[in-house]
Amino acid sequence: MSRTAKRKINGSPPLHFEHDNAICYSGYREGQSPLDRTYPSYDEVREDLLILAKNWKYLRLYDCSPHASTVLGVIRNEGLDFKVMLGLDMAAEMSNPHCPWGAEFSDETLTLNRRRNGMQVDMLIALAKRYSDTVFSVSVGNEASVEWTDHMVPVKNLVAYVKAIKSQIDQPVTFCENYVPWTYKLEPLAAELDFISIHTYPAWEYRTIEDALEFTKQNYHSVVDHYPGKPVVITEAGWTTAANGRGIEPWNASEELQASYYEQLLEWTTEEKILTFVFEAFDEPWKGSPDPLEPEKHWGLFTVERTPKLVTQELYAELVPSVASA
C-alpha cells in the first residue's frame, strides 16, 4: 500500500497499514495437499512460523481451510507477532472456455460450487471475528476473474460477496488478482473494495531479470493510475527457481535469479512504502503437474525441507546445512 494508508471501515477510526516485510504462506509438505485434505500439523506450522517470524510481519493465507485455522491458532497460542490477510478459496461459478487446462462445468456443479462458496464466506467471517486481533484484512478470492482462471466467478457475484462480508466484519476487504483485469472488468468490484491487491510475475510473462523490476513497476502503476486515491497492495510477486519449459524456460529459473529479483523488489517497495507479499515462503510439491521441475512447485524462498535458498541463506545461516552434514 503506497505510503501509510488510512481507511475508514464501517464507520470505525482510520486504519493504518504500516509498511513491513510481508510474505505468502502455505505450509504443505511432501505428501500433504489441500486437494486430498492432508494438512500440516500444529507442530509443523509452529516450526514454519518460528522461521518466518525472524524476518516477516505480515502473512497472507489463501483460504479458510483447517490449515488456516491452525495457522491462526498457532499465532495466538504461541504469542507470535504476525498480522494476517485471510483469504477465500472460491470455486468456479461459471465455465471459462479460455482456461488452457479446461474449465467447463455442468449446471449441477456450478450450483454446488455457489453453495460451497457461500459456506466459505461464512467461515471467513467467523475466523475474521474470532481472530480479530491477528486478521488485519480479508480477501474475497484469488485470481477468480483473470482470463485463464479455472475458477471464474462473475464480477457481480464478487461484488455481492464483498458487500455481505463488509456488513459483518470491521476489517478492510480486498480481492487478490493479476494486474490486468483491474484496468477494465473489475471496476465495479474496485468501487466496493477498501483497497486493491495485485499480482505481478515477470517470469511468467517471458521477462528476463534485466527488465523484470521495470515490468513490475509498470504493472503496479497501471493499476494505481487507473484508481487514483485507492490504495494498492502487491499480494504476489516472486521468481521460481526451477522450470521445465512449460510457461517458463529453464534458463530463466534459478536461485540466483530469484535472489536478484527479490533484492531489487525489496529495495523499490521499501523505498516507496508499498506493502508487498513475496510469493512465497516454502516450496510446495503438491502444486502443478507431477513433473518435479514444474515451475509451480519452486517459488519458495525456502525448500520444502525448510532449507534456505540463496536468497535467504545469509539471514538464516543457522539453517544452512554444513558441508559435513550435507
Across 240-255, average pLDDT: 97
Q: What is the pLDDT of residue 323?
A: 55
Ordered DSSP codes for 88-103: --PPPSS--TT-TT--
pLDDT at 5 over 50: no
Q: What pLDDT, on a 0 to 100 scale, did the predictor assign at position 16?
A: 60
Mean pLDDT of 126-139: 98
User: ω into residue 236 within 30 of 0, thus cis?
Assistant: no
Which long-range CB contacts under 8 A does 187-194 form with residues at least 24 apart? 188/155, 188/156, 188/159, 189/145, 189/155, 189/158, 189/159, 189/162, 190/227, 190/230, 192/159, 192/162, 192/163, 192/166, 193/162, 193/230, 194/7, 194/9, 194/137, 194/166, 194/231
The answer to whether residues 144 and 152 touch, using CB atoms and an 8 Å cutoff, is yes
Q: Please, which pLDDT band fits residue 17 given cuts at 50, 70 and 90?
A: confident
Average pLDDT, integer, range 28-44:
97
pTM: 0.94
pLDDT at 322: 80
Q: Report the pLDDT value the prediction gives residue 147, as an integer from 0 to 100.
A: 94
Average pLDDT of 82-92?
A: 97
Mean pLDDT of 82-89: 97
Mean pLDDT (whole number) for 100-116 = 97
Average of per-residue pLDDT across 61-89: 98
Task: Please state, rounded to an integer, the average pLDDT across all residues of the chain.
Answer: 94
DSSP structural state of residue 297: G
pLDDT at 311: 98
Q: How confident is the model at residue 19 (pLDDT cuts 50, 70, 90)?
A: very high
Q: In angstroms, rounded to a whole number, what is the distance separating the alpha carbons of residues 205 and 232?
A: 21
What CATH number does domain 5-319 carry, 3.20.20.80, 1.10.472.10, 3.40.50.150, 3.40.50.720? Answer: 3.20.20.80
What ranges in the chain are assigned the alpha helix state H?
Answer: 42-52, 66-77, 107-130, 155-166, 187-190, 209-226, 255-272, 310-313
Give residue limits of the domains in the chain. Answer: 5-319
- Pick from 317, 285, 280: which is nearest to 302 by CA? 280
Residue 304 pLDDT > 50:
yes
Indicate whether 4 pLDDT > 80: no
Q: Which amino acid type is present at position 4?
A: T
What percentage of the chain exceeds 90 in pLDDT?
93
Instruction: Say how many C-beta atoms besides its own lie within 10 A of residue 317's C-beta.
Output: 9
Which pLDDT tens digit goes with each residue over 171-227? Answer: 999 999 999 999 999 999 999 999 999 999 999 999 999 999 999 999 999 999 999
